[in-house]
Amino acid sequence: MIDQEKGYVVFTEEMKKTHTILVPNMLPMHFKIIGKVLERSGYKVELLETSGPQIAETGLKYVHNDTCYPAILVIGQFLDALQSGKYDPDKVALILFQTGGGCRASNYIHLLRKALTKAGMGHVPVISLSLAGLEHHPGFRLTVPLLKRMMYGVLYGDLLMTLVNQCKPYEITRGSAQALADRWTERLAQEMTVGGKANYRQVKANYRRMLDDFAKLPVARRDKVMVGIVGEIFVKYSPLGNNNLEQFLVDEGAEVVVPGLLDFCLYCVYNNLLDHKFYGMQKHVQALYQVAYRFLLGKEKDMIDTMEAHGRFTPPTLFTHTISLVQGTISMGVKMGEGWLLTAEMLELADKGVENIVCTQPFGCLPNHICGKGMMKPIKAKNPGINIVAIDYDAGATKVNQENRLKLMLANAKQAAKKPEAVPVPVQEVVFEEKIPQSIQKTARGAAL
Amino acid sequence: MTKQSKLALGIDIGSTTAKIVVVEDGTIRFEKYQRHFSQVRQKTLELLAEAVGVVGERPFTAAISGSAGLGLAESAGVPFVQEVFATGEVVRRMEPDASAVIELGGEDAKIIFFDGGIDERMNGTCAGGTGAFIDQMAMLLNVTADELDELSLKSTRLYPIASRCGVFAKTDIQPLLNQGANHADVAASIYQAVVNQTIAGLAQGRRIRGKVLFLGGPLYYCKGLRIRFQETLKLTDEEAVFPEYGRFAVAMGAALYGENAGGTYTMDALRRKIETSPAVRSGENLLPPLFASEEDYAAFRARHAGSDVPRRDIADYSGGAWLGIDCGSTTTKVALLGEGRELLYTYYSSNRGNPVEIVREQLEHIYGLCAGRITIRGSAVTGYGEELIRAAFGVDKGVVETIAHYTAAKHFCPEVDFILDIGGQDIKCFKILNGAIDSIMLNEACSSGCGSFIETFAKSMGCDVAEFARKGLHAAAPVNLGSRCTVFMNSSVKQSQKDGATVEDISAGLSVSVVKNAIYKVIRAGSAGELGEHVVVQGGTFYNDAVLRAFEMELGREVIRPAIAGLMGAYGAALYAMDLEKSALVSPEALRGFTHTAKAAVCQGCTNHCRLTVNSFGGGKKYISGNQCQKGLGLANAQELPSLYAWKREALMGLRPGPDIRGTIGLPLALGMYELLPLWHALFTSLGFKAEVSGLSTRRIYEKGQFSIPSDTACYPAKIMHGHMEVLLERGVDAIFYPSLTYNVDERGGDNHYNCPVVAYYAELLRGNMDDLEQTRFLSPFLNINEPRELSRELYACLSPVFPDITKKEVKKAVEAAFVAYEAHMLAVRKQGEEAVAWAREHGKRIMILAGRPYHIDPEIGHGIDKLAASLGFVVVSEDSICHLADPAPVHVLNQWTYHARLYRAARFACENPDVQLVQLVSFGCGVDAITTDEVRRILEEAGKLYTQIKIDEITNLGAVKIRLRSLIGALEEKGV
């Protein structure tokens, strides 16, 4: 029941044994692995993989309709699950990530609790997963080894996402890239469970194996227009939030480039360093954040190095380079929501030669007025060839309107690609003759795409 | 043999119209433009059939464009080109020297810039429905689109009309009509709203100048719209080009595109392809049918037939009678009751843009029916037109809508505990507890116009609303059209039509949408239990059985719908008048000599210059509307009540610039500057700068800066900032200062002390989007205003590169002076707050906390709501003037913004004091308020207080606000508070 002093239902140590923790789905591959990491630490975890219009409908029913779309979806997904009868409401807990930043996203957890109360399930505990330590739940402790393994999950997820994005538009067998990624997700998740190996040497070895596996995937020549996706974190990644944007772009003949989740983690940590630089705040914890920042940076560099050494795929951009690109466009003091990182990612994409960008945001997203739509003019001034389209996502927004705008962006992208100076250097057609391994074929059939 | 000429066919299927062109060697051989009424495939085939004469048997290339053409092109396998892209291609070829193109369609507005880097843009989500909006507005004025255009050419002045979206614009237009504004002026103002919306939404910091091409249907047909564009953009006749092919530009672009898209067709082959293309209905977002069977419907009908009132034929009645008039936003209703409360006569009709005339006709008619046998002994009027009708016809009583509706519902169902009224423009809900209105929920601006939307939509489909409603009853698969607002719904309807939804499915879907909007946006109920046992639903919209059924289904409970659902306001008003014995209503004789003229005027009472409409009814009787305060009515000498809003404005305006020793620093008075002006003013004055404040906002200031707004869904207080920067640039200051403050002043009232992202970082946006800022030095340092030492360090780092002679010591001293000034200001605010409360108690006045943010005191942002409240007898205090009188209470949200922490404390203060009411001002687009409104409402309602929310934006018409405040007063009076 509600802890009077704290004002919320606490997730107790008892509950760790009895309750299943439901996890919302933002990035299917990342979260699957991270879910298994939690299981290894003794939690019962279930990743919600539901979709469909009833999720937004449920959300609209229990959340203020002017709240951002991600809140409506995440809370809608939770309540839809709880009301489905699949779970014992006395044996279930929910978890949400909370940054504690100045964006209203930090309030999602409170809105979820209000919604639960409204739905008559106010007793269901909601765990705040927060590095800022906004709440305290005795049954859920973020230990260093746990955090470390969760970070491996992020790294794996980022690599898999990058590889899928680079293979999917060119795959010979439809669905084969995702099927391979699913197989890897399964395998990595397995490794994360009790008894599995999850040391960093193993992680790096896995990188190489993944790269090798994906390199073997039969693909056609890489010659499609590249389209980057940036934006508010949920609608940027979640197919539920963005009407399956990635798939739409791939079907329209584009190769999608999506900056990874690690960038966002680095951004969160780095902002604490900036708070000190800008305002002289957080003095006593600077050393700790420095260590964390260096550590994450090192991990990112290892992944990039491994990819470069392998040579076949384009690695993500190093965070330090991303930072250097943003100077002079937006101040790094802008730290609410995706803040300066959003601007930086658009610049990073342009820097890589990905000049077509979809900037996604929930309708009425406050930080994106500034760092998304507000920065397009200066970004265009710096990169005259850039082709950005801002798409709003909302329960009431129509798909036709969104797709029509995306089509405009794609038409301009394809036009630009035709211009002589933009013609890519002819690449020799690489079609791998090898047979697809049996195991992948199996999953390929099972994958519904 | 002659050389075979090249033949290309282009089809453009937009949201409303279909266009076709046949181009032969670069010349148009055939063109046709038609509305398609969502019969996309059929219309396309018809157009093709007409082109046969020109094309004959010859082969041609073809492509389809347009938002509604996408699905057809895909399923028929014909090349498709996006319409803006197509336009760009055509213009590049036809007018290589064009610098920009503006194209308006039925749903979308587009802009293309050619000079200085090609940039193609489409409107944001909110600003949808340009052409559709003009159509709807014409319907509101009861004219055709062509007549609207003719009217607009005769205008003499423009009214300010909100331009954010169609819903907001309509909210401004509807009351103008009801107040008797000149239709010609309204027509021109409608066009101006379209122009403002296009510029504010699409220019995004780029100046529209040079040779500008205007394309698309609305710009081809509406001459008045062209004039408004040309004047607003200050284009010469040479620069503003309205080409003859304006309607066909996209189709021509499609033809061009088709030439190189591969694929040659003969007419037969193309028609076959389109005919046989599979109809794809996405089908994922369908709802269950309203009625499973005819029997279900019959049972439903029977159940609701029971709720009626006694009636009596007026012809065989004699004696006293009481008249009730409900002059609503879109309809006028009349009810005449006999001594036994039986209905003698009723009337229900659309306003047709002139409610005064309708009421006059009705009175004439009623007097005829009375024929000396019946004496009208009392009369009352309610609704938006209450004051106008009262003044015009000498109606005895004016009654607030909520009270009228409650009076009627109570008569019907004495134990009623929940009333929902869905009218044309408004949704009103109230809970009844112990015989008094316990809480009132009124829709905010976004939910407006749901009821009338069904009606206008029905008309556009060529049927009346009753017929349209009937169609929905047995729809097999109602479509889910969302519930955000009618602009979004309209766009969803368009999509569903393209997906092949039937009129039946759309009718049912719209009913469900309106109901969901009421339940989840206005009532905010999660379950039926929250409403009550005895729910009465009323309002004209509930005549629609589909709406009633959808409501019962969504709620999972049976409700009562009186047979006179649409007349309940008038019925309640008549009941309300029944304690009268003798009526002062205009006599039959006087009615014959009745005249009505409306004249526009500008109030010169203060700098606000309200635009007034002066209605004269002959015999010196007048009614003036459009005023924000009493001055315009010549009633200035009414007792001036203390108002913290007025006091704060005066305090800020009273800050005089110091001597100019080092230069002038411009301070834009918007967003966070409203809070910290005393601090920055003292700081720069101490440093020897002349602190130049941009001043209070006006509409004019907003318009000055609207072209550089990059995000049209941002809040009005942010968008107006652009105008303030322009003002300061015009004044030629040496530097402009607007700092970035992630953290606001820490008042220890919450979990953290953030600013919202917009207040915190708007400076970064301004720097990136206002080119002219390069003319000056724009200082926007990131500052920590909670640590004087830190602040000195940061300010010195910011100022010393620009003003090298500034010393650290001076800055330190200035910071000290700044904090002293700020503390003194806040202390004065709190003291004034306490004094206002004490004064009110001494004089027995009600106290209203008009709770918003510091910038809501701005006359343009707050639209004079504080003055309106004062004129209704409230002593107005601001949230920051009294929040110190209550302790921070635990809240169920993350209380991390300084301004909002004040809000929660102010709510607490209202709870602790019976004579204090809280009205929350919410700016459209304030994401944070989606969180605070629910929480403030919870705090108040848990303590048994009424919660009133007013959503504001550019909308200037205070009609809806007045109704909200008067409802509050009405409910308080009922409660005896």
B787 contacts A280? CB cut-off 8 A: yes
Q: What pLDDT shows up at residue B639?
A: 61
The pLDDT of residue B258: 92
Integer Cα distance of B652 and B857 in angstroms: 11
Residues of chain B neighbouring A119 (CB-CB closer than 8 A):
526
Measured between beta carbons, which residues in chain B are less than 8 angstroms from residue A372?
Answer: 711
Query: Strand pairing of B319-327 and B374-382?
Result: parallel
- pLDDT reading at B958 higher than 60: yes
Contact A404 B893 (CB under 8 A): no
Backbone angles phi, psi at B949, to 5 degrees: -120, 135
CA B755/CA B199 separation, integer angstroms? 29
What integer pLDDT is reported at residue A419 of this predicted model?
64
Collapsing DSSP to helix, strand or coil, B429 comes out as strand
Confidence at residue B669, expressed as pLDDT on a 0 to 100 scale:
97
Chain B contact for A414 (CB, 8 A cutoff): no
Of A61, A380, A412, the CB nearest to B120: A412
Q: Which residues contact B646 (CB under 8 A, 6 or more apart)?
A: B866, B867
Model confidence at A336, pLDDT cuts 50, 70, 90, reads very high
Q: Is A82 on the interface with B (CB under 8 A)?
A: no
Q: Mean per-residue pLDDT for B375-394?
A: 92
pLDDT digits 0-9 by tens, B842-885: 999 999 999 999 999 999 999 999 999 998 999 999 999 999 99
Owner of token pair 């209450």: B386
pLDDT in tens, B91-106: 988 899 999 999 998 8
Contacts of B545 (CB under 8 A, 6+ apart): B297, B300, B301, B469, B470, B473
Instruction: Output phi, psi for B901, to 5 deg.
Output: -65, -35
Q: How confident is the model at residue B488 (pLDDT cuts 50, 70, 90)?
A: confident
Which of A335, A364, A397 is nearest residue B925 as measured by Cβ atoms? A364
- State how far the Cα of B330 lies from the Cα of B352, in Å rounded to an integer: 8
Sort out which chain A residues have CB atoms less than 8 A from B124's CB and list them: 390, 392
pLDDT mean over A331-360: 95
pLDDT in tens, B611-639: 788 888 887 788 888 777 766 665 554 56
What is the pLDDT, as a whole number, of residue B472? 92
Confidence grade of residue B3 (pLDDT, cut at 50, 70, 90): low
Q: Which residue of B has its CA nearest to A408?
A: B82
Reduced DSSP (H G I as helix, E B as strand, rest coil) percent helix, strand, coil of chain A, to 5: 55, 10, 35
The whole-number pLDDT of residue A448 equals: 33
Sequence-ordered list of residues with C-beta below 8 angstroms from that of A409, at least 6 positions apart, any chain? A227, A356, A358, A387, A388, A389
Query: What are the start-end ranges of the H helices in B282-439?
Result: 294-305, 355-370, 386-393, 401-412
Query: Do the chains contact at B929 and A335, CB–CB below 8 Å?
Result: no
Q: Tell whether A281 lies on the interface with B, counting CB pairs under 8 A.
A: yes
CB atoms B713 and A369 under 8 Å: yes
Beta strands in B730-800 (DSSP E): 735-737, 777-779
Q: What is the mean pLDDT of residues B676-702?
A: 95
**B335 has a pLDDT exceeding 50:** yes
Q: Which two tokens stand for residue A194?
A: 């009790």
Using pLDDT thresholds of 50, 70 and 90, give the confidence band for residue A425: very low
If you average pLDDT over residues B520-544, what whole number do you get? 86
Q: Which of A280, A375, A392 sits opposite B125 (nearest CB)?
A: A392
Please give the ipTM for the structure prediction. Answer: 0.89
- Using a 10 angstrom Cβ sphere, with 0-12 exposed, 13-18 middle and 19 or more buried, the burial of residue A42 is exposed
Per-residue pLDDT at B283 exceeds 60 = no
pLDDT for B907 equals: 95
Q: Find, in chain A, the residue whose alpha carbon is nearest to that of B202.
A: A373
Is a pLDDT exceeding 90 seen at residue B671? Answer: yes
Instruction: Tell me the C-alpha to C-alpha distance, in Å, between residue A125 and each of A1, A67, A121, A122.
Output: 8, 22, 9, 8
* Closest C-alpha to B137, from B195, B186, B180: B186
B891, closest residue in chain A (CA to CA): A7
Give chain B's length: 977
Q: Looking at residue B2, what is its pLDDT?
A: 46
For residue A396, the chain B residues in CB contact (below 8 A) are: 482-485, 488-489, 492
Size of interface A-B (CB pairs under 8 A): 229
From the list A118, A333, A396, the residue facing B740 with the nearest CB is A333
Q: How far apart are CA A330 and CA A371, in angstroms?
A: 8
Is residue A242 pLDDT above 50, yes or no?
Answer: yes
pLDDT band for position B788 (cuts 50, 70, 90): very high
Contact A333 B205 (CB under 8 A): no
Using the predicted structure, report yes or no on whether residue B672 has a pLDDT greater than 70.
yes
A75 touches chain B (CB under 8 A): no
Decide if B896 and A134 are in contact by the 8 Å CB cutoff: no
- What pLDDT is stored for residue A236 in this prediction? 95
Mutate one of A75, A110, A369, A418 to test the B interface: name it (highest B CB count within 10 A): A369
B127 confidence band (pLDDT: 50, 70, 90): confident
- In which band, very low, low, confident or very high, does the pLDDT at B284 lie, cut at 50, 70 and 90? low
What is residue A222's predicted lDDT score, i.e. its pLDDT?
81
CB contact under 8 A, A370 and B765: yes
| Mean pLDDT for the stretch of residues A386-403 | 89
Task: Decide if B713 contacts B127 (C-beta within 8 A).
Answer: no
Calculate how close chain A gets to B82, using CA atoms only, in Å: 6
Residue A195: predicted pLDDT: 60
Question: Within B884-924, where are the H helices?
Answer: 898-912
Query: Which of A107, A346, A371, A415 best tests the B interface by mutation, with the highest count of B CBs <10 A?
Result: A107
Residue A115: closest CA among chain B residues belongs to which residue?
B526
Contact B930 A66 (CB under 8 A): yes
> In angstroms, what separates the C-alpha of B377 from chain A's closest C-alpha?
47
Residues of A in Cβ contact (< 8 Å) with B261: none
Residue B189 CA to residue B161 CA, distance in Å, equals 7
Model pLDDT, residue B575: 96
Please answer yes or no on whether A64 and B524 come within 8 Å at the CB atom.
Answer: yes
Which residues, 6+ apart, have CB-to-CB distance to B243 below 8 Å? B94, B95, B213, B215, B249
Taking residues A141-170, report their average pLDDT: 93
In angstroms, what separates the C-alpha of A176 from chain B's closest C-alpha? 26
Asked if B254 has any chain A CB less than 8 Å from its own CB, the reply is: no
The answer to whether residue B285 scores a pLDDT higher than 80 is no
Q: Is A133 on the interface with B (CB under 8 A)?
A: no
For the record, the structure tokens of B873 come out as 């007898």
Substitution target from A80, A388, A398 for chain B, most B beta carbons within 10 A: A398
Chain A residues 370-399 with CB within 8 Å of chain B: 370-378, 380, 384, 390, 392, 394-399
Within the 917-956 window of chain B, which residues sit less than 8 Å (CB to CB) from chain A?
925, 927-931, 933-934
**Averaged pLDDT of chain B:** 90
Q: Which of residues 178-207 of A touch B (CB under 8 A)?
A: none
Q: In this complex, do A404 and B117 lie within 8 Å of one another by their Cβ atoms?
A: no
pLDDT exceeds cutoff 90 at B214: yes
**Chain B residues with beta carbon closer than 8 angstroms to that of A62:** 526
Q: Which pair of structure tokens corresponds to residue B645?
A: 């809003």
Q: Quick one: CA dihedral B540, B543, B548, B550, positive or negative?
A: negative
Report the 10 Å Cβ neighbour count for A143: 9
A278 touches chain B (CB under 8 A): yes
| Contact between A203 and A156 (Cβ < 8 Å) | yes
- Which residue, B680, B675, B636, B673, is CA-closest to B658? B680
pLDDT at B370 over 50: yes
Lowest mean pLDDT among A130-139, A262-271, B79-88: A130-139
Mutation test of the interface with chain A: which of B764, B784, B853, B892, choosing the one with the most A Cβ atoms within 10 A?
B764
Tell me the chain B residues in contact with residue A335 when contact means C-beta distances shorter than 8 Å. Answer: 742
Quick check: helix, strand or coil at residue A27? coil
The closest of B766, B759, B930, B774 to B853, measured between CA atoms, is B759
Q: From the list A65, A119, A368, which residue is nearest B521 (CB)?
A: A65
Predicted pLDDT of residue B345: 96
Contact with chain B for residue A302, Cβ under 8 A: no
CB contact under 8 A, A398 and B492: yes
For residue B630, the model assigns a pLDDT of 67
Looking at residue B637, its pLDDT comes to: 45
